Amino acid sequence: MNNILSGMPLGELTDLLTPLPRFRAAQIFKWIASGVCRFEDMGNLPAALRHELAGRFSLRPDADVQQYPGDDGAVKLALRFAAGAGVEAVLLPGGSRQKTAPSGYTACLSTQAGCPAGCASCKTGALGFLRNLSSAEMVEQFIQLHKAAEERLPSQAPPIRPIASIVIMGMGEPLLNLAELRRALDVITSPAGIHFSKRRITVSTCGIAAGIIDLADNGPAVRLALSLTAADESLRRRLMPISRGHSLAEIREACFYFQKKGGGRITLEVVLLGGINTSGEDAAGIAKFAASLDTAINLIPWNPVSGLEFEGKPLRPPSAAEVKNFKSRLEAMGLPVTCRFRRGRGIMGACGQLGQLT
């Protein structure tokens, strides 16, 4: 798994290919960024070298890829990797809901097969945890989504970048697989290859305090989103079992540290569950958590998943009135609030729905 070249940062690749000249590793790295599938397609490498590489290494991970387009422009990919690891990645159109063609897509990537967090509102959490994904498997998701985006964007002059932003918000808890995520993002952001801007990448966590501090200390300098959902300690621990090991106070201090170290505005993601976390007291708790932090709040009305329940009762989406009132309360307390578009619901590709096909 670790000798799959597409998951290797340029420095690792250069070391692996010693005693080849450094420029050969740079050429191969550039070919990987272009999405080639075979060594034989690397036209500026000698034929003998291409044959040797094919005998020694895998270029990209083996993956069976199924594509599921939605009527709102979203596309879900179901990828099955080695050892039966099935994951899903999603392409979400940018721009307003009124646009017929997106202004560039958002790529939503997964970091684990399944998820250990066990959040009550999430299909992925109900699957349990299978394994961490390798950096190559994360890069493969990006390459496949980039290809799907290119196929859908109309020809434009000047051309726009098919993928405008990346969110690490798919299956799994990214900060529990930070080493491999860091390697994958090194590949994706390297100026010698794909050269994707770090400031257009957001990593979402359910609140792994040590991981937030690690990200602040060691990078990469990406944006951070915190899946908060509730700022009442008891309720949050019941909704998000993984939070039992990470108190709200510890998470908040980690967020302060992240910003002290130069991290930008943090997005607080609040999944609204009808009748559970939509009261005025819930809004006040979110506001208290956000106090003195540089944050923006993203409200996510729960996307239905059959069979999920909380404390013996089926979950339900919030009513329009619940969402409106919750948003108004936060805005009245001076907080910037947005409500996420529900793109991808028709293909079970929206927040909390991944894991239907794995």
**CA 197 to each of CA 1, 70, 193, 220, 236: distance values in angstroms, whole numbers, following the listed order:** 27, 27, 12, 11, 33
Q: Which positions ≥6 away from 180 have C-beta within 8 Å? A: 7, 111, 132, 133, 134, 135, 138
Least Cα distance to 50 among 15, 22, 24, 30 occurs for: 24
**Cα Rg of the chain (Å, integer):** 21
Three-state SS for 21?
coil
Give the dihedral sign, CA 263/265/266/267.
Answer: negative
Q: For residue 310, how many other CB atoms are within 10 A of its CB?
A: 17
Q: Catalytic: which of 88, 137, 173, 322?
A: 88
The reply to whether omega before 9 is within 30° of 0 (cis) is: no
Beta-bridged to residue 310, according to DSSP, are 313
Task: Locate the DSSP E strands across 27-158.
Answer: 64-69, 75-80, 86-93, 105-108, 112-114, 129-132
Tokens 């990470």 appear where?
246
- Residue 140 appears among annotated catalytic residues: no
Catalytic residue from among 122, 206, 255, 351: 351
Q: Is 37 a known active-site residue?
A: no
User: How would you classify residue 287: left for phi > 0, otherwise alpha for psi between -120 and 50, otherwise beta?
Assistant: alpha
Which are the contacts of 173, defined by CB distance < 8 A and separation ≥ 6?
111, 112, 115, 116, 117, 205, 206, 208, 242
Active site residues: 88, 351
